[in-house]
Amino acid sequence: MIIVMQQHAEPKHIEAVVRRVEEMGYKVHLSRGEARTIIGIIGADEHLLHQSAFEAMDGVEKTMRVMQPFRVASRDFTQQNTVIDVNGVQIGGHKVVVMAGPCSVESREMILETAHAVKEAGASILRGGAYKPRSSPYSFQGLGEEGLRYLAEAREQTGLPIITEVMTPEDIELVADYADILQVGARNTQNYALLKALGQQNKPVFLKRGMSSTIQELLMSAEYILSGGNMKVMVGERGIRTYETATRFTFDVNAIPVLKELTHLPVVADPAHGTGKWNLVTPIAKAAVAAGADAIMVEVHPDPANAWSDGPQSLTPERFAKMMQELRPVAEAVGRGL
């Protein structure tokens, strides 16, 4: 961490900062310049230092981090890519993994029909929501445990592992009884009670970026789960909130190579939420794979016009099959398979 003192900082203020740094057991690097005095703390465990503790001291103008504030999530922790095995499906390995299925599980029939369709088209993992975070209390909130049972039946019939969302710590045990991967949605990326509880269990977790999380904050949220002891975490880009209204969110494709550089965790792209429109899903899925994503998550519904949620961004099984065909050569063009 670098601490920049104010232009006319008094000697006693500089000394107070130096003393505190030393009391914390760090070595001080002091640079007295013409215009400002700079105090550097350049230790390996900067993630334990709190910027604001120094910013509130008299005479301090600002502080700047030298290193990332996360540790276990970082490439410094391990250079080797984390590969998560889910019933034989490798996420983060050579092949780009496709997770597909409806936004919500609406009935036994629809999830079974969709599961068979996405399996046939080449998906490796089945998605479907049983607990739904909806912006309106008057909207369908999910089938709950009934939905989980239908998902489990779809897994039995197709062999596809299932991923589904969990919204609150008290639901984890139940959801983990059925699901192969637990998903944390964008509205819960900084729900720390939930993240801590997910660190205490051992099912893989897919952590989505919040709609206004920075990449650093996403990795700090991953750090909550990792530092709790659960190393099976994958992180995902699903669109961020910007001023642009032509799409529901702005898919931050830059985040994919940036995440691959900063972390060893697998990176998942969600072009459905990242655009909000089914006709943009395929081009953005291709872009995400071209940029280096390890997995793609898309929404498939047998009848989007009658979907109970997210219909406009859902592909029909036919359109999904076509997407898979178009995605394969792109994956190969970047040295991956599908």
Binding mask 44-83 for a second copy (x = CB under 8 A): x-xxx-x-xx-xxxx-----x-xx-xx-----x-------
Interaction residues for a second copy, span 111-130 (CB under 8 A):
none
Distances (CA, A) of 79 to 44, 70, 96: 17, 15, 20
Nearer Cβ to a second copy (161/304): 304
Nearer Cβ to a second copy (8/88): 8
C-alpha span between 301 and 115 (Å, rounded): 10
Nearer Cβ to a second copy (78/242): 242
**Number of other CB atoms surrounding residue 334 within 10 Å:** 12
Range in contact with a second copy (rule: CB under 8 A) among 77-85, 92-100, 174-182, 253-261: 253-261
How many chain residues are in contact with a second copy, going by CB under 8 A?
116
Q: Which of 77, 133, 156, 157 binds a second copy (CB under 8 A)?
A: 133
Q: Please choose, from the candidates 264, 269, 267, the residue with its C-alpha nearest in 3D space to the C-alpha of residue 287.
A: 269
Q: Does 18 bind a second copy (CB under 8 A)?
A: no
Nearest approach, Cβ of residue 76 and a second copy (Å): 7
* CB crowding 228-248: b at 16 or more within 10 Å, else e: bebbbbbbbbbbbeeeeeeeb
Nearer Cβ to a second copy (163/284): 284
Q: Does 191 bind a second copy (CB under 8 A)?
A: yes
Q: Does 25 bind a second copy (CB under 8 A)?
A: no
C-alpha span between 250 and 244 (Å, rounded): 7
* CB crowding 89-106: b at 16 or more within 10 Å, else e: bebbbebbbbbbbbbbbb
C-alpha span between 150 and 136 (Å, rounded): 25
Interaction residues for a second copy, span 285-324 (CB under 8 A):
286-292, 304-312, 314
Q: Which of 9, 18, 38, 112 binds a second copy (CB under 8 A)?
A: 38
Q: Does 168 bind a second copy (CB under 8 A)?
A: yes
Range in contact with a second copy (rule: CB under 8 A) among 107-115, 152-160, 172-180, 182-190: 182-190
**Is the torsion defined by CA of 230, 232, 238, 239 positive or negative?**
positive
Interaction residues for a second copy, span 205-224 (CB under 8 A):
210-212, 214-217, 220-221, 223-224
C-alpha span between 276 and 274 (Å, rounded): 6
Nearest approach, Cβ of residue 30 and a second copy (Å): 9
Q: Which of 145, 169, 174, 321 binds a second copy (CB under 8 A)?
A: 169
Interaction residues for a second copy, span 85-114 (CB under 8 A):
none
Beta partners for residue 30, in sequence order: 39
C-alpha span between 132 and 144 (Å, rounded): 9
C-alpha span between 264 and 286 (Å, rounded): 22
Nearest approach, Cβ of residue 129 and a second copy (Å): 13
Range in contact with a second copy (rule: CB under 8 A) among 83-91, 131-139, 157-165, 173-181: 131-139
The 8-class DSSP code of residue 171 comes to G
